[in-house]
Amino acid sequence: MASIEELLADIQAFSKEEVREDMVRDDLTRATSNFGYTAKKTAKADVEGELNKIASAYIEAMRGYKPESDTVAGNDIKSWMARLPQERRAELNAAIEAGESVGILKVLNDAYRAQADPRTSKLAEIQAQPDEVKGGVYAGIAQLVAGINGFAGSALRVAEAPDQALQALARRYATAEQFS
């Protein structure tokens, strides 16, 4: 189990080194330009299998070669999705069911960005901690982002939207660096 102080130090360090869009831009451009999946309405029971096919097409478009299997590609995408709020998986499933290729691609691109950002891994680690550690880290983040985007130093607000709190913290550090 990590300590509150260690987790906060990691969050601060990662927030100062925000993943820049240019680090993933080329991959996202390839994925978006070459995405060969044709969306079609999918029954709820078939979403998981369709996600594997979509994942395979997405990874092939990005990397230029076919993944080992649709299942392997699907597992990769699911691990990326685990770094996003759970609502995003529901959004992806709804887009698959509706056959909305734009919605599918948007969520997949966001998942790719998230897996490239070290803060998302640290956030997942924090969320796996016991409640007292998690609460202490959220309180520490709340102090760091007090007054930004309505967080007002509230650990509860951070707990409700930890990804947004980390984005606010990264913006605070970037602004401070710009004016120092």
Span 139-166, mean pLDDT? 76
**Which of 58-62, 87-91, 98-102, 157-161 shows the lowest mean pLDDT across its residues?**
157-161
Same domain assignment for residues 110 and 135: no
Q: Could you list the residue range(s) of the whole structural domain that residue 147 is in?
A: 4-18+119-178
Domain stops at, among 64, 95, 116: 116
The answer, yes or no, to whether residue 180 has pLDDT greater than 70, is no
Q: Rounded CA gap, 106 and 10, in Å?
A: 29
Same domain assignment for residues 148 and 167: yes
Q: What is the mean pLDDT of the chain?
A: 84
Same domain assignment for residues 157 and 110: no
Can you say whether residue 64 is alpha, beta or left, with left for phi > 0 and alpha for psi between -120 and 50 degrees? left
Query: For position 52, what pLDDT does the model report?
Result: 97
Query: For position 19, what pLDDT does the model report?
Result: 52
Same domain assignment for residues 33 and 110: yes
pTM above 0.75, yes or no: no
